[in-house]
Amino acid sequence: MSHRTITFILAESPPPRLDKALARDVPEDAALSRTRLARLIEQGAVRIDGQVVRDARAQVAAGAQVDIGVEEAEESHILPEAIALDIVHEDADLVVLNKPAGMVVHPAPGTPSGTLVNALMAHCGDDLSGVGGMKRPGIVHRIDKDTSGLLVVAKSDAAHHGLAAQFEKHTVERYYQALVYGVPLAGDPRLRGVRGVSFEPGDILKLTTQLARHRTDRQRQAVLFQGGRHAVTRARRVETYGNPPVLALMECWLETGRTHQIRVHMTHAGHALVGDPTYGGKRKLPKGALPPPVADAVRAFPRQALHAAVLGFTHPVSGEALRFEAPLPADMAELLDRLRTAG
């Protein structure tokens, strides 16, 4: 297997640990993420002044010569599949696409094929320059199988590293549209009494909790207030439906990006998503609020009514500000049209 050697000198006042010093000083055009550097240290591919160093915590000094042996990207074990994709933007470093509901993002034991990654392997072909030492698309964030909408995927290690850093710093703009049961109102005393719920100016609902995997149901996430991972969701009403109003279209945006975050948070607030089989169930609608055929359509909606509508970020290589919007998919758009015409 062919390989290349990256050589550079550690600058003044390096961090005390080898891994952090390398992450600071490695040339940008080497396109080595912090995770990749840690793996290379462990593999014995890093030499400091000619000596192999495998301890990521080793101390280093300014002026030391670093040689990193990097093997060219290997072929992935994931098989390419010719599956149609809705590509919104593509360049040498990344792809932005509009994922349909029903598509799993990454292969797993239960879904080894037919995934977004399989489709991207076929779509990108030889354009993949390697992520983590392997020719594969870099998944930096995911949306659930039955959620539709925008995703950005890295085609190069440099893009993967840069995008992951933006998601970690919560600087990526992500707006979702969700159809929920009930109408969140700042004046609702029930909602005001729910722990973790508050309202900001403009009648913006804010949910602040910890989230962790449910103790007994491993397919679910659970709201906690100790332990778990910090999670913040904001949402505002866009439209309400029914007479009296019994459903609301919400625009939700994420400060953090945890598994099932919007679905869990809206359920915690008492406003579960229509069609959500895991958290929402088939809730009863007040009799007479909607015409029976429309109420039946709401109850029969086959997935969580959630769409990733807006995605904005800084291009990790060019520095250009990018922002994309994806229209509602046909199933959600049709249901909302029926709700609007119901009066």
Buried b (16+ CB within 10 A) or exposed e, 191-220: beeeebbebeeeebbebbbbbbeeeeeeeb
- Give yes or no for a contact between 3 and 70, defined as CB atoms under 8 angstroms apart: yes
For 272-286, letters b (16+ CB in 10 Å) and e give bbbbbebbbeeeebe
Q: Letter for the amino acid at 29?
A: D
Q: Is 188 a catalytic residue?
A: no
Indicate left, alpha or beta for 270 from its phi (over 0: left) and psi (-120 to 50: alpha).
left
Q: Are strands 173-181 and 221-224 parallel, antiparallel or unpaired?
A: unpaired
CB atoms within 10 A of CB 293: 9
Q: DSSP string spanning 283-311? A: PPPPTTSS-HHHHHHHHH--S--EEEEEE
What is the SS3 assignment for 322-338? Answer: EEEECCCCHHHHHHHHH
Query: What letter does residue 126 receive in the DSSP assignment?
Result: G
The torsion of the CA quartet 303, 306, 308, 309, rounded to 10 degrees, works out to: 120
Choosing from 49, 86, 127, 144, which is the catalytic residue?
144
Closest CA to 235 of 269, 188, 274, 192: 269
CA distance 335 to 8: 59
What's the rounded Cα separation, in Å, for the pair 219 and 215? 10
Give the catalytic positions in this structure: 144
